[in-house]
Amino acid sequence: MTDRLERLLNLVIALRETRRPMTAAEVRRRVAGFGFSDAEAFRRMFERDKADLRDLGVPIETAPLDRWDDRVGYRIDPRRYDLPEVRLEPDELAALAVALQATGLLDEAAAGLLKLEVDAGEPGASAEGPGARLGIVLDAPHRDTLLTAQLSRTRVVFRYRPLGRDASERTVDPHALVHRRGRWYLVGHDRDRDGRRAYRLDRIEGNVRTVGEAGAFPAPTGSVGVDDVVPVPSGDVLPSAEVLAAPAVAWQVARRARGGGSEARDGWTRFTVSVGDPDDFAFWALEFGPDLEVVSPPPLREAVIQRLRPLAAPGTA
């Protein structure tokens, strides 16, 4: 595949740069990858490559070598092949800058963005946009392995721990990696449960293994999202909660707190912290174990207790 791709690129470059049409004999002699000693093998390959490039939209033309020569050659007219000059409007430049900030790629793409700004006659336009990063984290556990499996359509196996439940093995056809509200999810078809599921990457335990051959399942035909599998919370979003933190974890809880904490019993600290999605908050609170107590509001405290009860039941240790 690599050799063929390189040969096609060589052919495109040669036909794009030639000043006059190239004959098939010149292609065979001068373009890397076409130097077959067997003329028939070269002819079949050349015809197949031309057809494939034309199917991809590359405008390979057939034209006489010159007005006095009836032989024909091949060329690619730059006016038909090259992309038009890109000139973005100020609002489009601002949107592009926001997208780069959101993905954390602004530093890497700064030179390209500046060129677009200069071409549009708006140098420095993106500097007028929001200066703070939007904080979409590109990296996540197992992301590279799952992305490779998604692109090759290879089945994966991993252990997954839902919130408040034991981990179990899942066999999944990976359809897409989706970022929502600060979390990365794998969306795919769960082979054991015979249904579409979403899995938070930070809840996958151990390694992700690929099983079987590539192309094991058909690619999804439409867009793949996570909201129909993990609905977006609406009216149940809570603004804040009151918690008590042990000395060992107080500095970590303080990162989420609204303002400074106040002294409580036995050296513990009382904090008012942001909540947002109650499920995400409960998962965050449980990570501290006995070093964090949710005091209020009562429904949120009860939700955390409900998730603790299966862990405290006899036989779960």
User: Which tokens sit at 36?
Assistant: 């077959």
Q: Which two tokens stand for residue 88?
A: 């973005």
Domain housing 283? 238-312
The predicted structure's pLDDT at residue 47: 92
Which residues touch 235 (CB under 8 Å, ≥6 apart)?
A: none
Total number of domains in the chain: 4
Distances (CA, A) of 9 to 44, 57, 124, 134, 282: 18, 14, 36, 38, 54
The verdict on residue 249 lying in a domain is yes
Same-domain check for residues 72 and 97:
no
Q: Do the domain assignments include residue 232?
A: no
pLDDT in tens, the chain (317 residues): 447 888 899 999 999 999 889 999 999 999 988 877 788 888 999 999 999 899 888 999 998 887 787 788 999 999 888 878 777 787 787 777 777 766 556 667 777 777 777 777 776 655 554 444 444 556 678 888 998 899 899 999 999 988 767 889 999 999 988 877 667 889 999 998 888 888 989 889 999 999 999 889 988 876 666 665 565 554 445 578 888 888 888 877 877 776 677 887 878 888 888 777 777 777 778 777 788 888 888 877 887 777 666 555 544 44
pTM for the full predicted model: 0.41
End-to-end Cα separation, the chain, in angstroms: 53
Contact 27, 14 (CB under 8 A): yes
The pLDDT value recorded for residue 60 is 93
Question: What CATH number did the domain enclosing 262 receive?
Answer: 3.30.70
Residue 255 falls within a domain, yes or no?
A: yes
The pLDDT assigned to 295 comes to: 87
Give residues with Cβ within 8 angstroms of 96, minimum separation 6. Answer: 88, 113, 116, 126
